[in-house]
Structure 1
Amino acid sequence: MVRVRLLGLVPYALSATLISSLNMTALAAEESYDYFSANRQLIRNGVQSLLTCNGLFTSRRSLEQVFDQELAYLGEHVIGDASGGPYTIYPREQAVSVGGNEHGPAIISAFRKGIGCVVMAPDMSLEDIDDLPVLDMPYSKVDLRALDWPNGDAHASMPVPTTLNAEALDQASDWAFNRETDEQDTLSLLVIHQGKIIHERYADGIDQTTRTRTWSTAKSIAATLIGMQVDSGKMALDSPVAIDWSPALSGGEDPRNAITLRHLLNMSSGLYPIDSFNMEYATGSGLSYWAGASSVDGARNRGLVREPGSFWDYENYDTLLAVKAFKDTLPSHSAYREFPRKRLLDRIGMRNTLLSTDRFGDFILSSQVYTNARDLGRFGLLYLNNGVWEGERLISEAWIEFSRAPAPASASRGNDYGAQWWLVPDSRKEDVPADAYSTAGNRGQYVIIDPSHDLVIVRRGLDYGKQGFNRWDLLREVLKAFPE
């Protein structure tokens, strides 16, 4: 066991979004007390705990790499460094505790088989780790190195076709890796054309097996699983989602019963906003992401403030409500926990992908998935091939069309959002293909699908600060290798 401490109080910590939120809070402090200050400190510790745990035990990176990259987006607010700080690493338990004493409540995160690290509540200890969920599903014993791409990794690559400009493709790769700011940190770039990898590049300390967090790219995976249930008739887009809202209301119909699955997937539920109004790291989904709260209970406990479908508002809780509705269509908790592996991941070769849960066993599919570039390339190929994998249809064309159709409420922002997928905004349809679409996750996680060029691009990053990496610019640069 390694145990180190750093004396002195360190300010609240988190991403550029949180820093902006904290600045706003500081301005408001002249007029009112920040009643969420304890939450912010709690969540700060949880962010560092969970990212460190996953960095060490899921990504298998060194502590120095974790501080240099995984924790870089915390900026000056990260507490401690690789030489020591108010944290404890427990190698035997595969756990990390951050905080304690003057640094606020200690938060423990622990690696769990088949899931990745799970964050625990502040009042939990190492003795509680064995009660956390696991996914004990064996993988096929087939050697992926000998199995042909895309199910395995053999024969995955081909030379750049003579119809493309190999030099221009290399220049696009350099554009992605050699950024003008250190805050844009590209880890990997994968370019797949005609089903084969024609370009694959990794930063120092990263290789094709390295798992990193998808952040909100996980939302597109969630939508795929939900789409499978819609295709089977077990869920319906335009029927009210059967959510047991909290608090339960008496004396009349709950207006939240008007919310449909379509509204949730289009980020237009009309429920009280949290994440997009500078409260993401003080309450709401932040407590389930980083502090051990239930990802379901908080999502159910929001009031309706707008007519469903009338206003676009990016909220993690909308995704988590859709995941809750998905869970409720399955006969048991074990069926729910095994569904992603059985129905999607194992069938398309995504065997390096872990879908994380909260401590109650509910998937946090708005953000917490750990995977590598090749697995995301496989995911992109499924969509590029209109839902067909090796001759078997896994997702209907109708679902893919819905995923790519602009959410009606996104019209005011340029029709740039579909159903848990991002679309080329109206302002970019002159310089990149209008039918392209992509996943998008914090810190630069993108899977870009360009049907008109038979192309999938995967970019993984650990960006921080302003996080200005633009996926449509990347597509533009890669397309310079293609004939006009």
Structure 2
Amino acid sequence: MKKIKRILLAIVLITLSYFIYDTSIKLPVVTGYSAKDVCSGLFIANRSLESLENNDINYSFMSKTSIKVDREEKSVTASIFGLFPRKAIYRGALGCCITKGYNEEELKQQAFERPTIENIPLDTAINGIKSEIDFKLLNSALDSVFEREERTRGVVILYKNKLIAERYGDGFDQSTPLLGWSMNKSIINALVGIMKSQNRLDLNDKALFKEWENDERKDIALNDLMHMSSGLDWDEGYGGLSDVTKMLYKTGAASGYAMAKQFSVKPDSKWIYSSGTSNIISQYIRNTISNDQEYHNFPYEELFKRIGAPSFYFEADASGTFVGSSFGYATTRDWAKFGLLYLNDGMANGERILPEGWAEYSYTPAKASNGKYGAQFWLNADSEIDEFMCIGHHGQMVSIIPSKDLVIVRLGLSINKRFDTNKFNQNVVNSIKE
């Protein structure tokens, strides 16, 4: 009997020890997520704390976090029952970052003001194309994604470069910057294209980092990274602790975490969706520019200003490298302007911003992706529509459909119900008369 009790006690202790260990490594991700999300929501999107707590972090373990805001310092601290506190701080144009492991005074010194960017309004003169649009079908398509459970926050639809539809959910409007999540990978695509046009890099570049010089990683080309076919190990799981959650919420240098991953297979032989890959490219851009002031101004001066999109915030981690995989905000209209750049093959406001043919490069399928992915853009291999897309967590989407002259933007917070991108886009396409 005593032996059985000892065995049962041992099992209980082992189980309890594992639970404590598992909790200690997972909950800092939860508090880090909450602190970062609320910080950006408050100081970039100018939303209320009540709205953020009741909507953005009111699910899963995030709903258990307690939030403390220091508006003078522009910081947010999140904890769970007072445990595992994580703090995020706002740094002007660089957005918010988690402070863990970094000197907060040094982080504050990173802050800089965004360059002045003129808003170039979308064209709303649609009289000449009204006869080509079935507005009853178009409005029905919008109605379907503004049902309560869809949790859509903003939709903008452009046809032939003109704004033909726009709608917002309660508490949001055309001036609200919204998080694009992985749509920011396509921002990385644009920055690479701009630098290529400036002859500052080449897609065939190899031996990209000193850390990779003495192993197989020296054979990884920039083009392999663009296609998510680098051959590096990666786990993109969002249900628990994974490479992507550790990279974003447990380290201050996202690119450093990703760059340290081990070589797995020959480059360009296997496609693995990897947020780490986009951050590696961001670091390569930073190293290539080799001047942090220029690097931090680069997306604002060379991209957002030229497409007339002043609301963009492209956020950097604590090391100062843009988190190109995930963290960038803009209004729904400004996300639409980004899509318009690709619909028009890199032209905006009469100026060539991306190299000629760059859009085609972006939507050409990566060899190992089975038609699912191009260069930091998703492809829709399961649809008859010729679309390529920026896709982000919780149903963010910028869809570019060249044959229909369409750009479709949807931003929201789909949690319990997955947003049906294909259905919505098909409904919009159906509203354009043949």
Tell me the TM-score normalised to structure 2 length. Answer: 0.90
Residues 287 and 293 of structure 1 are in contact (CA less than 8 Å); yes or no, is this contact kept in structure 2? no
Return the match for 2:383 from 428, 433, 437. Answer: 428
Return the match for 2:313 from 354, 369, 394. Answer: 354
Alignment of 1:97-176 (within 5 A): 97-99=77-79, 103-121=82-100, 130-131=108-109, 133-140=110-117, 144=119, 151-152=120-121, 156=124, 158=126, 161-176=130-145
Q: Distance in 2 between matches of 1:77 and 1:202?
A: 25
Cα displacement (A) at 1:290:
2.2
Q: Distance in 2 between matches of 1:329 and 1:354?
A: 22
The aligned residue for residue 5 of structure 2 is none
Letter in 1 for 2:79: G
Q: Distance in 1 between matches of 2:125 and 2:194?
A: 30
Cα displacement (A) at 1:270:
1.1
Letter in 2 for 1:233: N
Q: Tell me whether 1:374 sits opposite 2:351 in the alignment.
A: no
Return the match for 1:38 from 15, 24, 31. Answer: 24
Return the match for 1:75 from 48, 55, 60. Answer: 60
The aligned residue for residue 217 of structure 2 is 256
The aligned residue for residue 11 of structure 1 is none
Q: Distance in 1 between matches of 2:37 and 2:64?
A: 13
| Aligned-residue identity in percent | 28
The aligned residue for residue 206 of structure 1 is 172
Residues 120 and 292 of structure 1 are in contact (CA less than 8 Å); yes or no, is this contact kept in structure 2? no
Instruction: Name structure 1 gaps, 5 residues minimum.
Output: 1-28, 81-85, 145-150
Q: Distance in 1 between matches of 2:232 and 2:18?
A: 26
Q: Which secondary structure state, in structure 1, belongs to the residue aligned with residue 310 of structure 2?
A: coil
Cα displacement (A) at 1:65:
1.1
Q: Which secondary structure state, in structure 2, belongs to the residue aligned with residue 272 of structure 1?
A: coil
Q: Which secondary structure state, in structure 1, belongs to the residue aligned with residue 191 of structure 2?
A: helix
Q: Distance in 2 between matches of 1:115 and 1:212?
A: 16
The aligned residue for residue 234 of structure 1 is 200
Q: Distance in 2 between matches of 1:43 and 1:348?
A: 35
Q: Distance in 2 between matches of 1:122 and 1:44?
A: 17
Q: Distance in 2 between matches of 1:44 and 1:479?
A: 39
The aligned residue for residue 19 of structure 1 is none
CA RMSD of aligned residues (A): 2.4
Tell me the TM-score normalised to structure 1 length. Answer: 0.81
Residues 107 and 122 of structure 1 are in contact (CA less than 8 Å); yes or no, is this contact kept in structure 2? no
Q: Distance in 1 between matches of 2:243 and 2:132?
A: 50
The aligned residue for residue 10 of structure 1 is none
Residues 119 and 289 of structure 1 are in contact (CA less than 8 Å); yes or no, is this contact kept in structure 2? no
Relative to 1, partners in 2 of residues 1:161 and 1:282: Cα closer, same or farther, differing over 3 Å?
A: same
Residues 407 and 417 of structure 1 are in contact (CA less than 8 Å); yes or no, is this contact kept in structure 2? yes
Relative to 1, partners in 2 of residues 1:104 and 1:307: Cα closer, same or farther, differing over 3 Å?
A: farther
Residues 404 and 419 of structure 1 are in contact (CA less than 8 Å); yes or no, is this contact kept in structure 2? yes
Letter in 2 for 1:108: K
Return the match for 1:470 from 395, 399, 420. Answer: 420
Q: Which secondary structure state, in structure 2, belongs to the residue aligned with residue 400 of structure 1?
A: helix
Return the match for 1:274 from 235, 247, 250. Answer: 235
- Please list the CA deviations of residues 3-36 of structure 1 after superposition, one character each: whole Å capped at 9, or x if unmatched: xxxxxxxxxxxxxxxxxxxxxxxxxx97x94755
Q: Tell me whether 1:416 sits opposite 2:379 in the alignment.
A: no
Relative to 1, partners in 2 of residues 1:451 and 1:188: Cα closer, same or farther, differing over 3 Å?
A: same
Q: Which secondary structure state, in structure 2, belongs to the residue aligned with residue 296 of structure 1?
A: helix
Instruction: Name structure 2 gaps, 5 residues minimum.
Output: 1-13
Q: Distance in 2 between matches of 1:37 and 1:95?
A: 25
Q: Distance in 2 between matches of 1:368 and 1:241?
A: 27
Q: Which secondary structure state, in structure 2, belongs to the residue aligned with residue 65 of structure 1?
A: helix
Return the match for 2:243 from 271, 275, 284. Answer: 284
Cα displacement (A) at 1:54:
1.4
Aligned length: 419
Q: Which secondary structure state, in structure 2, belongs to the residue aligned with residue 198 of structure 1?
A: strand
